Amino acid sequence: MKIYFDGCSYTKGSHRWGVDNWEERRWSKLLANKLDAEEYNFSLGGGSNQRILRNITTEHNISDYDLAVILMTRPMRTEFFHDGKFINVLPTKNFEKECIHTYCDGLEIAQFWDFYYKNIYDKEYGKKYEEVVQKSIKAICAVNNVPLVIMSNWVKTPLSFDLMITCDKTDKYPSYERINPTDNHPNLEAQPKIADDIYNFINKYKRFY
């Protein structure tokens, strides 16, 4: 059995857990172990929902897998193609610093994204595009007969997801321990809990049978 995973840093895992074998201890690997399956984790820290859709549409053949487990991320993120590669876009990214030292030709790209988030991007656009991505992922998996568990780590989403994986304290969704008070990512101790919650959901609804 082969499981396709995708998402952002919540799915990728983190060296900030302070262990060398962190990839072996992330929830995707633990879930694959519980299902006696192979883990194929294509997530990327800072990744966007657009990247998730691009991956499942053009980069990988989803029909090669027996189950897809996808954790969508914050809808305001996006990506663009520059100098031969795709680059993550987050409203919190310091483009001026990164463009000078990493991959941009100057400040024009940094200024563009700064202007975009301040003057163009709207939350309603984010909501609608999130819905477009979610429905597209569902349709792609359905037409390829691949069972899907689709989730979100964004508690402000207007959509109905199978599960929520969040460290925000709410009464509506389960909450997982953070790495630290200023880092909202699930910590190492939270990984088996997340794997158990998804495993129990799969068994409850028989999503891969």
Q: Does position 139 have pLDDT exceeding 80, yes or no?
A: yes
- The 10s digit of each residue's pLDDT in 14-53 is 888 888 999 999 999 999 999 999 999 999 999 999 999 9
- Amino acid (one-letter) located at 113: W
Is 148:134 a contact under the CB 8 Å cutoff?
no
Q: Judge whether residue 76 has pLDDT over 80.
A: yes
Q: In the chain, where are the structural domains located?
A: 2-76+123-205
Report pLDDT for 100.
44
Give 60's DSSP letter: S
Q: What is the rounded average pLDDT for all residues in the chain?
A: 88
Find how far residue 14's CA is from the centre of its chain.
Answer: 13
Residue 190 reports pLDDT greater than 80:
yes
Which residues pair with residue 67 across a beta bridge?
3
DSSP 65: -
Average pLDDT over residues 141-168: 89
Comparing 24-38, 104-118, 120-134, 195-209, the range with the smallest average pLDDT is 104-118
CATH of 2-76+123-205, one of 3.40.50.300, 3.30.360.10, 3.40.50.970, 3.40.50.1110: 3.40.50.1110
pLDDT of residue 91: 85
Q: How far is 209 from 206, CA to CA, in rounded Å? A: 5
